[in-house]
Homo-oligomer: A and B are copies of this chain.
């Protein structure tokens, strides 16, 4: 996510549109994730960059469009990671487990993204709707799941008749909840779902759950 951290080149350019834009996006991502859309302050975002508020309006147009740009870049990061998935050389069971683990890891490593998704849902996904980029591009992970599922069902290993989207929901919901609801859950039940000590436990639990579901003997239906 962090694209800008070169430590002030000795004779660095003062003017660098790409750097300025990227820096604004970096700061805005963090600020929106921290405080929510309405809680975030344009002035605060500007103050944390090396440029001014004027530039936010110059490059992005306004607060709404800035948030949309933040979402676009954040979703871009995930899709990029998903494109790097390399699990299809494994047998279906191992492939699904590996996919679940990578999803788990990605959620854990990008809490800001999780928060942005929560925030966007509070606002009815209106920024996604307003975005041309985010409109109709599917998820590479979904294609991977689709192929693994097909292989697993064909070979008889998988008995459940889920489709790829369903399985994606199943995997994502566990990973998402653990990060997104960390605070209320911790406050109410006294267990930190993201504590390092619990990490392996939940990571394994997710894989076990998905595989158990896919391979369970089911009553004739």
Contacts and interface: CB of A to CB of B under 8 A. Distances in A.
Interface stretch (A90-98, A117-125, A146-154): A117-125
Interface stretch (A7-15, A18-26, A49-57, A158-166): A158-166
Smallest CB-CB A-B distances: 6 pairs:
A173-B177, A125-B183, A38-B38, A212-B216, A38-B39, A212-B212
The size class of the interface chain A forms with chain B is: 35 or more
B160 A169 contact: no
Interface of A: 35-39, 75, 115, 117-125, 128-129, 134-135, 138-139, 142, 160, 162, 165-166, 168-170, 172-174, 176-178, 180-189, 191, 193, 201-202, 205, 208-209, 211-213, 215-216, 218
B208 A213 contact: yes
Given A166-B205, A216-B208, A178 B187 contact: no
Given A212-B213, A213-B208, A118 B180 contact: yes
Contacts of A193: 169
Given A37-B39, A165-B191, A205 B121 contact: no
Contact of A169 (B38, B138, B142, B177): B177
Given A120-B184, A169-B174, A215-B216, 10 more contacts: A36-B38, A118-B118, A118-B121, A120-B183, A128-B184, A169-B202, A173-B173, A176-B177, A208-B218, A211-B216
Contacts of A186: 125
B165 A176 contact: no
27 contacts: A35-B38, A35-B122, A38-B39, A39-B122, A118-B121, A118-B181, A119-B122, A121-B182, A124-B183, A125-B184, A125-B187, A128-B183, A138-B188, A139-B188, A165-B191, A166-B202, A166-B205, A169-B174, A169-B177, A169-B185, A169-B202, A170-B209, A173-B174, A208-B213, A208-B216, A212-B215, A216-B216
Contacts of A211: 216
A128 B187 contact: yes
Given A38-B35, A122-B118, A209-B209, A134 B173 contact: no
